[in-house]
Chain A
């Protein structure tokens, strides 16, 4: 073994010396650890399934340039879900120099189930025994020396959220990667009947050109792993199927359960030797609160209050800040216009002002509240409460998580639909998500309806929206073929939100929005002003009048904002604000027109970014279908909405 301490970076300049992957169960702190290591800002939160794609970062430590890969959380190396496939393929095909297996010390048994599989995969690993603080609160004491002895791999206790143990961990990882630490990975042995057949299969596979170790392949074949089946000879698959049948006959249960049972039996023995249960120290109040939050009656009451007061807070805060900022810019405006006196400048500046006065005051509280909800662990509890409601529309409780995220922005919410277990459920929930009025649409609803027609109308629009979402999900459920699975979700511990985490998360979201959005507003505003001054847009507006004026009862100048709204929904009111130089929309629309415009803007099309996400997740065809459907839906319903309200007013 070379003891050369000079890293090989001299040879490969920009390439990393080592690649370290973080793998483990969902919600164990992989991304928190990743952020600690790399200084980046991966999404963290207290619910399982946030990271759905691998993510890279790097750090330099002790003279090594290390690439760190954050992987999605998984419970097993089978390939039911996209996350499992991503993680497995990364570990096997890209062969990181070392895998840091992040383990939740407070749920050791279930976490070791994954560890055993990594051992079977013969990957060099180091275990990060994370959340030792939480384990201690629960009165669980893990003897990491003993555990390390049994498993034959190094173990470092960590508290990722506080950065404790992180340096030691990375040093151990380097030692393993550089082969300075010898691993003596434990052999995972099954019962005699199973073992005999694994050995026979292994013999058959040995010569095959696979990236996976033959024994791992043999076990997976017995379990009936579809992905592995495709990778081996037909004869081997047939042999495996025969063996699997024999095992099922002997044991009376299918092979995957036989294997899982035996792994858990091994783990029970390991736990017995390496973990002590002391008296739990810190339960009581949290437990009581938790019981209330998921109580069969009070739980629903609290949930309603939480969501209603969230919207109330957003509207109140947004209105307050928006008014102050508008007033501030109002005093600035005349002098600036006088200096330059140019329409174009008015457009640019108008775009900027509209962004500051309309977007920030509303988007900020949304992200703040969402981060708080995420960090407390409330979301999985809502999933529990609303499981049977979601069943009525062909989904299950987990779908509520992307739906709630959708209120901040549809784009990450569509991504989050990957937590659903089947492709069909992912599609249905993503379709439902596109109907969720994101912060941008809430701005339209508030800016037009809440501010000038009456806040109760804004709430009414949101309630109607809930009914529409349920109807749409139900429709998609009827139309989409495929299979559904029931709810199975881990309930993470409830806790008070951490200020630092919440603020960092909010700031990161807001920052990335501002980078994208302000240029769009400013350039869009400039272009709009220029086009208007050259009389380019009027013919387009004319063209749209049958739709805007005749069918929807809107003024002619509503056409262009609706077109701009395809880029970002809030443009629907930001454009008129720029054109008229004010956010006092009373001069532009009648109350009925405000209601109709807000209603149409809520549904008429997924914005450009959402479309791109739909395309990425489900392909061109599906994205186009959804878009076409929503355009038709919004126009049809918008006209009916206008007519029925017209009769009322």
Chain B
């Protein structure tokens, strides 16, 4: 299994975004855009729950809908549709393939 770049991190106040150069959070994807899950951040339980629902490193996730002003995003993952709140979504970091843009 390819684990390069797959990682995990507890949220850290002084940790800056450039630590994860090239990664974007689920919130930054536009509708119809796909990304590959690379890193999961946040509460342990939340991450565990996400992984049970199929959001694990190296999984392709497609954003299909989102609500602006702090609303949730809707994603397609492994054939199922999930609505994910903003707080949870911002901890899902992805690698976006060039042709996905």
Contacts and interface: CB of A to CB of B under 8 A. Distances in A.
Nearest to B72: A387
Interface stretch (B14-22, B73-81, B93-101): B73-81
A371 B61 CA distance: 33
Interface in B42-81: 43-54, 56-59, 65-72, 74, 78-81
A109 B59 CA distance: 12
Given A260-B52, A387-B85, A265 B1 contact: yes
A99 to B, nearest CB: 19
Contacts of A223: 48
Given A110-B53, A110-B78, A257 B83 contact: no
Interface string A381-401: 001110110010000110000
A488 B1 contact: no
Contact of B69 (A76, A388, A488): A388
B7 A260 contact: no
B32 to A, nearest CB: 12
Contact of B85 (A113, A253, A487): A487
Given A252-B7, A387-B71, A488 B85 contact: yes
B93 to A, nearest CB: 13
Contacts of B49: 75, 80, 421, 485, 488
Nearest to B44: A254
Contacts of B84: 486-488
B74 A486 contact: no
B48 A257 contact: yes
B83 A256 contact: no
Contact of A261 (B57, B80, B88): B57
B85 A486 contact: yes
A489 interface: yes
A257 B6 CA distance: 11
A384 B74 contact: yes
A387 B71 CA distance: 6
A50 B69 CA distance: 30
Nearest to B52: A76
B79 A261 contact: no
Contacts of A140: 79
A223 B80 CA distance: 24
Nearest to A74: B52
Contact of B54 (A110, A385, A396): A110
Interface of chain B: mostly helix, strand, loop or mixed = mixed
A491 B45 contact: no
A406 B5 CA distance: 47
A64 interface: no
Nearest to B48: A256
A470 interface: no
A488 B65 contact: no
Contacts of A391: 70, 85-86
Contacts of A383: 83
A4 to B, nearest CB: 42
A489 B82 contact: yes
Contacts of B48: 78, 80, 223, 254, 256-257, 260
Interface string A488-517: 111100000000000000000000000000
B51 A260 contact: yes
A247 interface: no
A508 to B, nearest CB: 29
A489 B72 CA distance: 11
B8 A252 contact: yes
B80 A110 contact: yes
Contacts of A488: 46, 49-50, 53, 82-85, 88
B79 to A, nearest CB: 5
A75 B52 contact: yes
B7 A253 contact: yes
B97 to A, nearest CB: 19
Closest 4 CB pairs of A and B: A487-B85, A486-B85, A260-B51, A486-B88
Interface of B: 1, 3, 6-8, 40, 43-54, 56-59, 65-72, 74, 78-88
